[in-house]
Structure 1
Amino acid sequence: MKKNLGILILVILAFTAYVNNTNLQKQNKQITKKEKVVELLNSIETGDTKPVEYINQNKYIQHNLAVKDGLSGLGEVLSKLPKGSAKVEVLRTFEDGNYVFTHTKYNFFGPKVGFDIFRFENGKIVEHWDNLEEISETTASGRTQFDGDVQIIDKELTDSNKQLVSNFINDVLFGKNPSKITEYISTEKYLQHNPNVKDGLNGLSEALKSLAKAGMPIKYEKTYMILGEGNFVLTVSKGIFMNKASSFYDLFRIEDGKIVEHWDTIEEIPEKSTWQNNNGKF
């Protein structure tokens, strides 16, 4: 009996030690930058205040021109949301050095698709950019602004894929050598998520010609950021769309050295007199 009791005590002590060690490992596990960003974005819907800890309270630079600088500016705009209206579904999350960028489906003062970029310093968020566009119920390609591939692969090709997209922007979007487009975009598969553009190179050409014919050609003027992880690359650019100054966020998926899928948002840049901060869109 005493022997069995001794064994039982040893089992209990071993189990207790295991549980304590597991809890300690959980406490010591460092939350990743991606996890911090996803928690922060989800808190817009849930109201959870804990993710605010991931923001540097002494330095939070805001580039959404409708939001004032700092945590107080973020809190102010969130307080204006109708109660229970906010919805957040983070679809894709990527990391590039000190930057995390996401592709998200929102209900944020109305249904929107958005890209968000967060910059980290010493584990804290210190800067934020975004680009939002209203969700379209119908699209030229039959695809939504959200669906498509989500798997991140080929991480070792991140730099070469970023260079591919950079060359594509310079040659094609900036118009330096547009005839080279087939060197960058696959002629066999080009899946389009812009609501106004059909699939394939023919769909892209048709949309661009239609805008030009209407006297409203799309024009890229400057690219400010090229971020990537593996087979996904995001670019942040300024230009003209519908004869208005606009910001272009383009997400490209690369496969076998060619662009095969594209998502984007286009947002008009408001007049400076209406800006709620002085940091600029870019």
Structure 2
Amino acid sequence: MSKQKQNFYDLYTKVIGQGEIDLLPLYAAEPCIEHSVGVHDGLEGFKNFFIPFFEVFPKRNIQVTRILEDGNFVFAHAYQVLNDGAAEWMTMDIVYTNADEKIIEHWDTIAPSFTGKNKAGHTAFDGATELADFAKTADNKMLISNLYEQVYTIEKWQLIADFYAAEFIDHSEYGFLTSQELIDYYESSTTNYTLEKVYKIIGEGNFVAVFTKVMIANKEVANIELYRIQDGKIVEYWRNMEYVVEEKLWLNSGKFATITTEF
């Protein structure tokens, strides 16, 4: 595991999971910009959020299920079980690292995870974890970029079959089994869903993560989706969506801003 991946993993498991807040400077550095809107910027802002969090949730079981990197960006998919199941959260995080591979900026989506299995028999977290096909990273990122440009942006739902395998593994609450089921869902959906912007695509080998803003019933939503690709088709899918609270409640520059880098 690279140093920047290890730093992110250790921040999650040691600092947050085990509550070793004094280790934070080993893994993150100023300006430590936050886009999780309830957290102030800076190392002190991080500490001021998590020290009370540790008191409310003294029992924390955090599993980082997938982690990938693309340049100075690192993506992680994590499952948090707090206080023996009193709360269960899915988080999908993106961080940007400095020349020392320490975290200096962070974006995320945090939402309660559906419990149990969907109709396809999958949880929100199970499935493949092994990175492969590193030589195909650029091709796989382009596939996903084209999916958003050619399908989701202009709602050409029939073209989904050009990107998804006929049968794929879906870890969303819907548990779709086939690309045709997915097409039928979008074509019949009455949900007022609009893709507003693709902010960042992060890929490593056979996994590609995408950070977008969508509008659902006129409400702003931060959305991160994760795809596994095999032989030029999507064969597995995870997602996490977080409704963005009103701006007056933000303690930082917001979900979609960039400070130390550009998307």
The residue that corresponds to 1:87 in the other structure is 61
Identify, as 1 or 2, the structure richer in helix: 1
The residue that corresponds to 2:11 in the other structure is 40
1:61-72 mapped onto 2 (5 Å cutoff): 61-72=33-44
1:127 and 2:102 aligned: no
Distance, in Å, in 1 between the alignment partners of 2:194 and 2:203 is: 23
Distance, in Å, in 2 between the alignment partners of 1:268 and 1:100 is: 23
- Letter of the aligned partner of 1:61 in structure 2? I
The residue that corresponds to 2:95 in the other structure is 118
Compute the displacement of 1:85 (Å): 2.8
Distance, in Å, in 2 between the alignment partners of 1:141 and 1:207 is: 15
Distance, in Å, in 2 between the alignment partners of 1:149 and 1:31 is: 20
Identity percentage over the alignment? 29
Compute the displacement of 1:84 (Å): 1.6
The residue that corresponds to 2:137 in the other structure is 158
1:59 and 2:31 aligned: yes
The residue that corresponds to 2:260 in the other structure is none
Correspondence for 1:104 among 61, 78, 89: 78
Identify, as 1 or 2, the structure richer in strand: 2
Compute the displacement of 1:196 (Å): 2.5
Compute the displacement of 1:279 (Å): 4.2
Tell whether the 8 Å contact from 1:102 to 1:117 is kept in structure 2 after alignment. Answer: yes
The residue that corresponds to 2:229 in the other structure is 254
Secondary structure of 1:146's aligned partner:
coil
Tell whether the 8 Å contact from 1:196 to 1:207 is kept in structure 2 after alignment. Answer: no
Correspondence for 1:221 among 189, 193, 196: 196
Distance, in Å, in 2 between the alignment partners of 1:209 and 1:269 is: 26
Tell whether the 8 Å contact from 2:122 to 2:175 is kept in structure 1 after alignment. Answer: no
Compute the displacement of 1:141 (Å): 2.4
User: Which one has a bigger Cα radius of gyration?
Assistant: 1
Q: Encode CA deviations 1:172-194: one digit per residue, 9 max, x unaligned.
A: 1112643322221111x211011
Compute the displacement of 1:243 (Å): 4.0
Distance, in Å, in 1 between the alignment partners of 2:199 and 2:112 is: 23
Distance, in Å, in 1 between the alignment partners of 2:177 and 2:203 is: 23
Structure 1 residues 257 and 50, CA gap change in structure 2 (3 angstroms): same
Compute the displacement of 1:50 (Å): 2.1
Compute the displacement of 1:153 (Å): 0.3
Compute the displacement of 1:137 (Å): 1.8
Structure 1 residues 162 and 230, CA gap change in structure 2 (3 angstroms): same
1:203-222 mapped onto 2 (5 Å cutoff): 203-209=181-187, 211-212=189-190, 216-222=191-197
Q: Which has the higher contact order (CA 8 A, sep 6+)?
A: 2
Tell whether the 8 Å contact from 1:115 to 1:249 is kept in structure 2 after alignment. Answer: yes
Tell whether the 8 Å contact from 2:225 to 2:240 is kept in structure 1 after alignment. Answer: yes
- Letter of the aligned partner of 1:196 in structure 2? Y
Distance, in Å, in 2 between the alignment partners of 1:176 and 1:46 is: 44
Q: Encode CA deviations 1:20-79: one digit per residue, 9 max, x unaligned.
A: xxxxxxxxxx961111110000121212232432211x3111010111111122111212
Structure 1 residues 165 and 229, CA gap change in structure 2 (3 angstroms): same
TM-score (norm 1): 0.82
Tell whether the 8 Å contact from 1:36 to 1:51 is kept in structure 2 after alignment. Answer: no
Stretch deviating more after TM superposition (58-67 or 236-245): 236-245
- Letter of the aligned partner of 1:52 in structure 2? P
Correspondence for 2:161 among 168, 182, 187: 182
- Letter of the aligned partner of 1:47 in structure 2? G
Task: Name stretches of at least 5 consecutive residues in structure 2 with no aligned partner.
Answer: 258-263
Task: Name stretches of at least 5 consecutive residues in structure 1 with no aligned partner.
Answer: 1-29
- Letter of the aligned partner of 1:104 in structure 2? A
Compute the displacement of 1:205 (Å): 2.9
Correspondence for 2:120 among 116, 141, 146: 141
The residue that corresponds to 1:7 in the other structure is none
